[in-house]
Amino acid sequence: MKLSPLQRLDIAVRQSMPVVVTLLLAVISVVPIGLPASSSLAPDIVLIAVFYWTVHRPDLMRAWTVFVIGMLSDVLSGTPLGVHPLVLVLVHTVIISQHKIFRGAAFGVVWWAFSLIAPAAHAVTATVAFVAADVAPDLSVLALRLVLTIGLYPALAWLLGRAQRALLAAV
């Protein structure tokens, strides 16, 4: 079956949704929201989005797009350049390599996997930032942020799931 240009455009737009949404979250994550300690404790929504899409639609969340997302995140947040690309590409690779576990897995399993990967990712981020740029994290803040990130996963995953069903069910 041959597709008309409009149909192809429609599919392309739909398929770019995961990356666009994740880039948007990277921008949103640096906006100040005016809550106490929100700047340092804000959950890592970029990690959640990259994790979610790599688990559920690895065909639409490629390693190089993950790299670009990490770059934007670094540039906007002022993190030493290269830290987030490195960590996110590692996360992406780990998920891809364990893809059999995730295929058709229940939500609980995916969340459990996230709660294992997120601490590892943050530990690598902190270590790399320390080695690359001499910036040491406040460990208690790091731990609290991690708890908030894992806690937010179900809510954000639900939203992303809605978007996935609405736009990507057919493509």
Partner 1 sequence: MKRPGPVSRFAAPIRLYGQRFAFLGLIAAAVGMMVLGKAETQLVERMRMVVVDAFVPVLDAIARPVATVNDLVARVGEVVHVHAENARLREENERLLKWQAVARKLESENRSLREILRFTPDAPVSFVSARVVGHAGGSFLRTVLVTAGERDGVAKGQAAVTGDGLAGRVTEVGERAARVLLLTDINSHVPVVLETSRDRAVMAGDNSERPKLLFLPSTARPEIGERVVTSGHGGVFPPGIPVGIIAAAGDTSVRVQPFVDFDRMQHLRIIEYGLGGTLQVSAPPPAPRRGRR
For partner 1, the closer of residues 11 and 112 by Cβ is 11
Residue written as token pair 């929201």: 33
**Who's near 51: CB < 8 A, 6+ residues apart?**
91, 95, 114, 117, 118
Residues 10, 14, 89, 111: which binds partner 1 (CB under 8 A)?
89
Which of 21, 44, 91, 113 is the binder for partner 1 (CB under 8 A)?
Answer: 44
Tokens at residue 43, please?
Answer: 């959950």
- Which position among 7, 11, 20, 38 is part of the footprint of partner 1 (CB under 8 A)? 38
- Closest to partner 1 by CB, 5 vs 36, is 36
Which distant-in-sequence residues (6+ apart) come within 8 Å of 85 by Cβ?
66, 67, 68, 70, 71, 74
Nearer to partner 1, 21 or 129 (CB): 129
Rg (CA), the chain: 17
Contact 146, 122 (CB under 8 A): yes
Which of the residues 115 through 154 are near partner 1 (CB under 8 A)? 125-126, 128-130, 132-138, 141-142, 145
Which residues of this chain interact with partner 1, rule CB under 8 A?
27-40, 42, 44, 58-59, 63-64, 67, 70-72, 75-83, 85-86, 89-90, 93, 96, 125-126, 128-130, 132-138, 141-142, 145
